[in-house]
Amino acid sequence: MTLSSELIWQDQQHQVLFELIDEIKADHVDSTTFIRLNDYAEHHFCIEEAYMQALEYPEYEAHLQSHNKFRKELQHMLAEHSEYDAQLRDMLSDFLCEWLRRHIFGVDKKLEAFIMHSERK
């Protein structure tokens, strides 16, 4: 795990997640977009979880549960749908966007502050 000197990585990764979620609304979208989103979310969650474990973050369990909820929702979407019409894509994209926004301004903000105050940011 590379420990950067600023918490820029977290911001950048969130930005990529929002872009992928936005892409779901595009006309050309198919299941590969969801798979890329799934892979990238997994990559991002694993990094945050590695930091929490390395720094013995006191709210690790609750944060992990929140990530797991997102993982489950995405898996559910991938399993439930093989075709995505515009209405469904808008609904899924809005749902994921709203979830991510709440997560970022909630538990991720707290984690960010904790990491920034630690000596291993």
Shortest CB 84 distance to Fe ion, Å: 25
Number of residues located near Fe ion, criterion CB under 5 A: 2
The yes or no reply on residue 77 touching Fe ion (CB under 5 A) is: no
The yes or no reply on residue 48 touching Fe ion (CB under 5 A) is: yes
Cα distance between residue 64 and residue 54, in whole Å: 14
Q: Which of 20, 52, 108, 115 binds Fe ion (CB under 5 A)?
A: 108
**Using the 8-state DSSP alphabet, how is residue 82 labeled?**
S
Shortest CB 36 distance to Fe ion, Å: 17
Could you give the angle at which helices 60-80 and 31-54 cross, rounded to 10 degrees?
Answer: 170
Only segment of 21-29, 69-77, 91-99, 102-110 that touches Fe ion (CB under 5 A)? 102-110
Let me know the angle formed at the C-alpha of 38 by 12 and 45, rounded to the nearest 5 degrees. 55
- Record the tokens describing residue 83, joined without a space: 């075709």
Q: Which is nearer to Fe ion, 30 or 53 (CB)?
A: 53
End-to-end CA distance of the chain: 11
Residues that bind Fe ion (CB under 5 A): 48, 108
